[in-house]
Structure 1
Amino acid sequence: MTHPVDVHVGKRIRHRRWLVGMTQQQLAEHVGIKFQQIQKYETGANRVSASRLWDIADALEVPVSFFFEGLEASKSGEETAAEAIPADLMGDKEALDLIRSYYAIPEHQRRRLFELARVLSDVA
């Protein structure tokens, strides 16, 4: 049986990997394991050891604490900002591609796009 913490950490690994545009194979090569092991980590089927999590954090350029963010709030029943978004959004490749594209836009244009989106969402 999978432990909720292992599932949470796995989702955070997948989320960050997709945000940086890295494949499971690329992450596995950086860490020195097979991509099937990354799959098992991401589903929570296998528990990530502390040293392996350290290597994954290094490869994904985040602190180890990143993988535990939101865990306390979800345990206490509080809704975090990420949970206010539909649960499948962070697992949606199209949404993550949109985020990557957004950050590829020069900052001054990105701010204008952000303001336009905010106005449009207020009207809806």
Structure 2
Amino acid sequence: MAHIVDTHVGKKIRQRRWLIGMTQQKLAELVGIKFQQIQKYETGANRVSASRLWDISEALGVPVAFFFEGIRNVSEETAEKENVPADLLGDKEALDLVRSYYSIPENQRRRLFELARVLSDVA
């Protein structure tokens, strides 16, 4: 059974990779391993060594600490109270939505954000 930290780190790798639109194959090439190993890291099936995590952080353009952010704050109960899926950042559709949101010009993005806020307050 995978350790919770290995699973969290794997989800953060997948989250960042999806957010920047990178494939497992491309990440594997940048790190110098096979894409199957990236799959195993992302599911938490294999632990990521410190040196490999360093290489992955370089390839994804984030500090190593990024992969450990939120590890103490993971709480399904809190997510349920907010009516948000527990693994929001692991949801490909949610990450696609975020990527699309940031591709919109800033002035239009701000207006879309305000609309979403109003709609969520009404719901």
TM-score of the superposed pair, with normalisation by structure 1: 0.88
| Residue correspondences, number | 121
- Look up the match of 2:11: 11
Q: Which amino acid aligns with 2:14?
A: R
CA separation of 1:73 and 1:97: change in aligned 2, threshold 3 A: closer
Gaps of 5+ in 1: none
Aligned equivalent of 2:31: 31
SS for the counterpart of 1:71 is coil
Q: 1:27 touches 1:56 (CA, 8 Å); kept in 2?
A: yes
Superposition CA RMSD, Å: 2.0
> What stretches of structure 1 move > 6 A for 4+ residues in a row?
78-81
**Worse-matched range after superposition: 3-12 or 87-96:** 87-96
In structure 2, list runs of 5 or more residues that go unmatched.
none
Q: In the alignment, which residue of structure 1 is the partner of 2:114?
A: 115
The equivalent of 1:87 in structure 2 is: 86
Report SS of the residue matched to 2:107: helix
The residue type paired with residue 116 of structure 1 is: L
Percent of residue pairs bearing the same amino acid type: 80
AA aligned to 1:6 is D
The answer to whether the Cα contact below 8 Å between 2:28 and 2:35 also exists between their aligned partners in 1 is yes
Q: Which amino acid in 2 is paired with 1:10?
A: G
Are residues 87 and 48 of structure 1, via their aligned partners in 2, closer, same or farther at CA, if it must alter by over 3 Å? same
Deviation by residue 1:65-122 (Cα, 9 ceiling, x = unmatched): 0000111223xx69778x9530243232222111111100110110011001101111
Which residue does the alignment assign to 1:20? 20
- For residues 44 and 122 of structure 1, the distance between their equivalents in structure 2, rounded to whole angstroms, comes to 37
Structure 2 contact 76–86 (Cα < 8 Å) conserved: no
User: Judging changes above 3 Å, is the alpha-carbon distance between structure 1 residues 80 and 38 closer, same or farther for their aligned structure 2 residues?
Assistant: farther
1:42 aligned partner: 42
TM-score with structure 2 setting the length: 0.89
